[in-house]
Chain A
Amino acid sequence: MKVIEIKDLYKSYHDTEVEVKAVNGINLIFEEGEFSAIVGPSGSGKTTLLNVIGGLDAPSSGSVIIDGTDISTLSSRQMIDFRLHNIGFVFQAYNLIPVLTAKENAEFIMQLQKKSRAERDARIAELFAAIGIQGKENIRPNRLSGGQQQRVAVARALASKPKFILADEPTANLDSKSTANLLDIMRKLNEDENITFIFSTHDQRVIDRAKRVILLDDGKVTKDTKTK
């Protein structure tokens, strides 16, 4: 089943004298249950592409259709709501709200969605077991390691079972052990819950774990391989 369809997508920046074509004519389809890495050198447009897919940035032209909805037709207000209910985000850093505990952070989206306490508690317990954070539920982010913080962020993104998860270089700030650990968890959740993951990375070890690798260069897809 198609989750995301990207058609003739362009995104250019005019901040400076020269026009930067960060996304320069991309057509892609993401199916349900994918575990895809978007790979490319710095400045190739990975972040820009993910931001446009996630509705955080508007394309210059072309369209992003998520589960049948062309997101360019949504007002900014509708877009926020759409993101809340359909897309999970994991950023490179600053993922967690510092004044909330690990558990409170993980259930934050579910709370915004007005899910019941019982439902939240059950889901978070399940996810915390999966990400290996038990016992640290009531600790604030500044007392968690970088890897643990990213795992909580993944738990938060996953908690409400969104249509897909966008993760922009989720392992960029992690050491290799934490990176491997986070990837294991993401991959496991992808398989157990059939949740679609799209993430960008520089890291060869991360690329090796992907089921599909999309290579970007200068805002264009130069290679798209399904590995498994």
Chain B
Amino acid sequence: MKQNDHTIFKISWRNIWRNRLRSSIIILAVTIGIFGGLVSTGIMKGMVMGLINNSLENQTSHIQIHNKQFVENNEVGFLMNKTDKLLSKISKEPAVKSVCERTKTFGMASTASKSAGIMVNGIDPVREKTVTGIWKKIVKGGGTYFESNKRNRIVISEKLAKKLKARIKSKIVITFQDYDGNLTGASFKVEGIYRTQNSMFDKQNVFVRKTDLDKLLNMPSHSAHEIAIVLKNYKQTGAEVERIKRLTPDYLVQGWPEIDPYLQVSASMVDFMLYIFMLIILIALGFAIVNTMLMVILERTKELGMIMAIGMNKFKVFKMIFYETTLLGIIGALVGIVISAAFTLYFGRYGIDISIVGKGFEAMGYGTVMKPYLELTDYFQVLIMVIITGLIASVFPTIRALKMKPVEAIRD
């Protein structure tokens, strides 16, 4: 800062503390407003990030590959061939952390008393564990995740278990159409019961060994319906999709935003919400600040007249008012940001239990423990918005100040 500016800044800063009560009230209002805006955005963002992470971890992964027709119509026949070669090529990609393949088919699961439509996922448990986290989601006393090497084992969700009245070691009969279009079925023994935070997903998905399912479906060897890939960094999704497309031009390669557009939309919605929230809060605060500053200008008519008379130009008068206005906002914003950051860090770590009110959330795939989440850029954006508000809010008081004629201001 030039020494010139330094003096003006010093005046502005000290002017704030001339009326401590009034300034404190404005600063407190800004603090509360910023805290409210940031924390509510943080909570929403945390929920959405939780949803996205859950989905990426348990369902979509970062990239999936399918036969184009399979995506439109999940028929057993629309499969991908020579997947063994493809998998090894993909594994060699530097950005790829892990990859797995699945056989998938719709089917009907029945026990003695009940039946339900399901998606049967034929997986290779060893590879699958490196891609999805379902194996970590086995409920207490809910058996194991393909630890037994016996044939025809199945892992189902707690939800489905309840519906089918099935337990560990229960027999479930699964019927489906095989590769040749014949209706076929087999009996599976429940080995594990899992629960993710997305009950919609849970209701539908059961897991069996790919080798078991392939045999039943009569699948050609080295074929699969789905390849799922996890990257070392999810931010590389877009670039890696392009690279894998070149490896396998015939099949449909999709990144998670394309597989589940809702996730992507939710993420950008929350960022947008921050703007909207902050905009509304800052407009309200802006009015309060403008009002305060107009009062200030009125009180200091003579002083301002004198300053302009002795040679302070209009731009410097504006700067003086701008600094004071913006400092009011920035002090409040910084306090608000510090409190919000503390809140977000603490509850982001330990979570807020919303299970009492959270029944509906769980069905939508959100967790029952709320973990607010904010990024450094969110705080910066808020600070910049506060400064812009200060800039806009200083315009009216400055106009008022500059309208005064020094002669009239000075006259008794």
Scan residues 1-29 of chain B and give those whose CB is less than 8 A from a CB of chain A. 2-4, 7, 10-11, 14-15, 18
* A contact residues around B3 at 8 Å (CB): 111, 114, 117
CB distance from A186 to the nearest CB of B (A): 17
> Are the CB atoms of A111 and B4 closer together than 8 Å?
yes
> Are the CB atoms of B407 and A51 closer together than 8 Å?
yes
Query: What's the tally of chain B residues with a CB closer than 8 Å to chain A?
Result: 28
> Are the CB atoms of B412 and A92 closer together than 8 Å?
yes
> Are the CB atoms of B310 and A56 closer together than 8 Å?
no
Interface segment, A64-72, A94-102, A213-221?
A94-102
Q: How far is the CA of A6 from the CA of B14 in the complex (A)?
A: 41
Q: Any chain B CB within 8 A of the CB of A130?
A: no
> Are the CB atoms of B407 and A80 closer together than 8 Å?
no
Contact A80/B313 with A94-B306, A98-B303, A111-B4 known, Cβ cut-off 8 Å: yes
| Nearest B-chain residue to A88, judged by Cβ | B310
Q: How far is the CA of A85 from the CA of B405 in the complex (A)?
A: 20
1/0 per residue, CB under 8 A from B, across A103-137: the answer is 01000110110100100000000000000000000
* A contact residues around B11 at 8 Å (CB): 97, 99-100
> Are the CB atoms of A84 and B311 closer together than 8 Å?
yes
| Nearest A-chain residue to B12, judged by Cβ | A99
* B contact residues around A89 at 8 Å (CB): 309-310
* B contact residues around A84 at 8 Å (CB): 310-313
Chain B contact residues: helix, strand, loop or mixed: helix
| Nearest A-chain residue to B312, judged by Cβ | A112
> Are the CB atoms of A95 and B313 closer together than 8 Å?
no
Q: How far is the CA of A85 from the CA of B2 in the complex (A)?
A: 19
Q: How far is the CA of A57 from the CA of B405 in the complex (A)?
A: 9
> Are the CB atoms of B311 and A94 closer together than 8 Å?
no
Q: How far is the CA of A92 from the CA of B407 in the complex (A)?
A: 12
Scan residues 143-178 of chain A and give those whose CB is less than 8 A from a CB of chain B. 156-157
Q: How far is the CA of A98 from the CA of B412 in the complex (A)?
A: 18
Q: Any chain A CB within 8 A of the CB of B276?
A: no
9 nearest interchain CB pairs?
A: A84-B311, A99-B14, A94-B302, A56-B407, A83-B311, A111-B7, A80-B313, A57-B407, A89-B310
15 further interface pairs, Cβ-Cβ under 8 Å (given A84-B311, A97-B11, A104-B10): A47-B411, A56-B309, A57-B405, A77-B313, A80-B312, A81-B311, A93-B412, A95-B306, A97-B303, A98-B18, A98-B303, A99-B11, A112-B4, A112-B316, A156-B310
